Amino acid sequence: MIAEVIIIFLIAGVTLGAILYRKNALATFLINNLSATPPSQDVALDTLLEIAGRYYAEKNYLSAEKAYLKVLKVDHKNSLAYSRLGFIYSHLGNTDDAIECFKIVADTYPNAASYHNLAMMYFKNRDFAHSAEALEKSLSMEEHFSRLINLARIYRAMNKYDKQIETLKRAHDIEPNNIEAMQLLAEAYLHEKDEKSARVLFRKILKVEPDNMRARAGLQPSRQLKKAR
């Protein structure tokens, strides 16, 4: 009985392996041959995008890269392919190629999301000036809370504290009770020696989150605050 069960499992395993092998072999064949003699450009493009999308969803980035490069041979302006390649290169640690892909998307189809992706890739590459520039363009198209917070952090890294405060005020206006925005703005005020404005925000934080230790420390007298730091 046990032997029969083992044999059944072995047969099932071999069958499943054969199916998966044939599935991957077929996908590879289609990638290698579709763009050479496609029945039509639209059919070839749709098929390649479907295969590339499956690889991307499975996080099989090397196969996805190959598939999206094939897409660009069929449609050299395909924004989805460039965008996905940007994320693939980012995952693979190739930030320079990722930046080039996101730049193409932003230049060809300028919108808030494309400039945001480009900004984050510049930031990952520690190119803060270009990151800020791209994020400013994104925000000029669509005011977005989290992007304002990111831009404020970039300004801080660039030692542009006046712009950091201005940006955090915009974020605070969008979400007046957001703890992160209030805390960052309060600490920016402290950096600029504006303890009065900082205390107003720390008190507001405690109304929303009474146990916030950073806000409690921020309301201590200046000498004690320095010791707490």
Structural domain contains residue 13? no
Residues 6+ apart with CB under 8 A from 63: 27, 55
Are both 173 and 222 inside the same structural domain?
Answer: yes
Structural domain contains residue 6? no
Residue 39 belongs to what domain range?
24-76
**How many C-beta atoms lie closer than 10 Å to residue 183's C-beta?**
19
Are both 69 and 81 inside the same structural domain?
Answer: no
Number of domains in the chain: 3
Structural domain contains residue 17? no
Structural domain contains residue 52? yes
Give ∠ CA 7-11-17 in degrees, rounded to 5: 145
Quickly tell me which residue has 């092998």 as its tokens.
21
Are both 119 and 166 inside the same structural domain?
Answer: no
Are both 153 and 211 inside the same structural domain?
Answer: yes
Structural domain contains residue 7? no
Are both 83 and 130 inside the same structural domain?
Answer: yes
CATH number for the domain including 115?
1.25.40.10
Please give the pLDDT value at position 22: 45
Predicted confidence (pLDDT) per residue in 203-224, tens digit: 999 999 998 898 888 888 764 4
Residue 112 and residue 23: Cα distance in Å, rounded?
A: 38
Predicted confidence (pLDDT) per residue in 7-53, tens digit: 444 444 444 444 344 445 545 544 555 444 445 677 878 889 999 99
Domain end among 126, 142, 158: 142
Predicted confidence (pLDDT) per residue in 57-68, tens digit: 999 999 999 999
Predicted confidence (pLDDT) per residue in 65-109, tens digit: 999 999 999 888 999 999 999 999 999 999 999 999 999 999 999
